[in-house]
Amino acid sequence: MSKILSMRELVPTIFEAVVEAPEIARKAKAGEFLVVMPDEKGERVPLTIADFDREKGTITIVFMAIGTSTYKLAAMKAGQSYYAFVGPLGHASEIKNHGTVVLVAGGVGTAPIYPIAREMKKAGNKVICIQGARTKDLLFWQDKIATVCDEHIITTDDGTFARKGLVTEPLKEICEREKVAIVYAIGPVPMMKFCSLTTKPFGVKTIVSLNSIMIDATGMCGGCRVNVGGETKFTCVDGPEFDGHQVDWNLLTSRQKIYLAEEKCSLQKYVEEAKK
């Protein structure tokens, strides 16, 4: 079991946990993910690694409380231990000196973008970060992101902080003004889809992370099937990162809705039991 060293709510519904996991921290790389279980009967929750410290032997995870299992994770306190904390899993990001790298973070996607930005900076790239959220109250880690990039652009959909608009707008402007070697976009599926559509006319390779569709994260259940370049891929064993220009976004969007009814029923039952 992995002990929680600290737990805090960064912004409403988004939580950060620093976990004692020296063996995972020793091997962790940007872009990889973990499987976390709050208890013996809990669901397997796939979470992209938000930070790792090899010297301290810690792993940082960030998640949004949106369903039964993530609500259980959010209810845990420092000093408690997860029933399962497994990783690192998946393929790491391709870290090398690409040139100019643009990293686009949408909402909770800020967390997995951070270690990629940090490692890209260490590799000698010019790093431009675009960080977006629906509103000011959902922005987090702005200062942390700023330390690992050469240019930091913040947008909010409603204009309550920094630039009003979507992350795709500055992304397009950057692609128009200079040669971009590669783009990483991590966030809600619609955001990643439209980032990919924005960069496609410029021929800029765009990498997206599809960990949110995973279920068991072992390749056994088939629940994370995605169509990439006309081929069936399993996000947990072939990803979680894929070429955004090759992803069948319409199919991915429809697959995300398969278990909505069951998820709502589970959450309602959990909330009712918690009130007793």
Tell me the pLDDT tens digit for each residue of 15-58. Answer: 999 999 999 999 999 999 999 999 988 788 999 999 999 999 99
The yes/no answer on whether domain 100-209 falls in CATH 3.40.50.80 is yes
Contact at 8 Å (CB) between 239 and 229? no
Euclidean distance between CA atoms 18 and 114, whole angstroms:
15
Which residues of the chain are in CATH 2.40.30.10 domains?
2-89
Tokens of 165: 């608009």
175 — phi, psi (to 5°)? -65, -30
Tokens of 52: 């790792």
Give Cα separations from 210 to 58, 90, 204 (angstroms).
24, 11, 19
Give Cα separations from 62 to 36, 48, 58, 77, 242 (angstroms).
12, 8, 13, 14, 21
CATH of domain 2-89: 2.40.30.10
Helices 189-199, 249-256: inter-axial angle, 10-degree rounding: 180
The arithmetic mean of pLDDT across residues 60-68, rounded, is 92
Euclidean distance between CA atoms 225 and 31, whole angstroms:
19
Give Cα separations from 206 to 23, 64, 128 (angstroms).
31, 25, 14
Residue 274 has pLDDT above 80, yes or no: no
Tell me the pLDDT tens digit for each residue of 105-162. Answer: 999 999 999 999 999 999 999 999 999 999 999 999 999 999 999 999 999 999 999 9
Position 263, amino acid: E
Cβ contacts of 92 within 8 Å, gap of 6 or more: 29, 30, 31, 32
pTM of the model: 0.92
Position 18, amino acid: V
pLDDT at 42: 79
pLDDT at 218: 73
Helices (runs of H) and strands (runs of E) counted in the chain: 9, 17
Instruction: For the chain, give the percent of residues with pLDDT over 90.
Output: 77
Q: What is the average pLDDT value for the chain, to the nearest integer?
A: 91
* From 15-29, 90-104, 127-141, 261-275, the region with the lowest mean pLDDT: 261-275
pLDDT at 270: 65
Which residues of the chain are in CATH 3.40.50.80 domains?
100-209
Euclidean distance between CA atoms 76 and 100, whole angstroms:
40
Tell me the pLDDT tens digit for each residue of 164-194. Answer: 999 999 999 999 999 999 999 999 999 999 9
pLDDT at 3: 96
| Closest listed residue to residue 25, CA positions, set 4, 62, 52, 60 | 52
pLDDT band at 211 (very low <50, low <70, confident <90, very high): confident
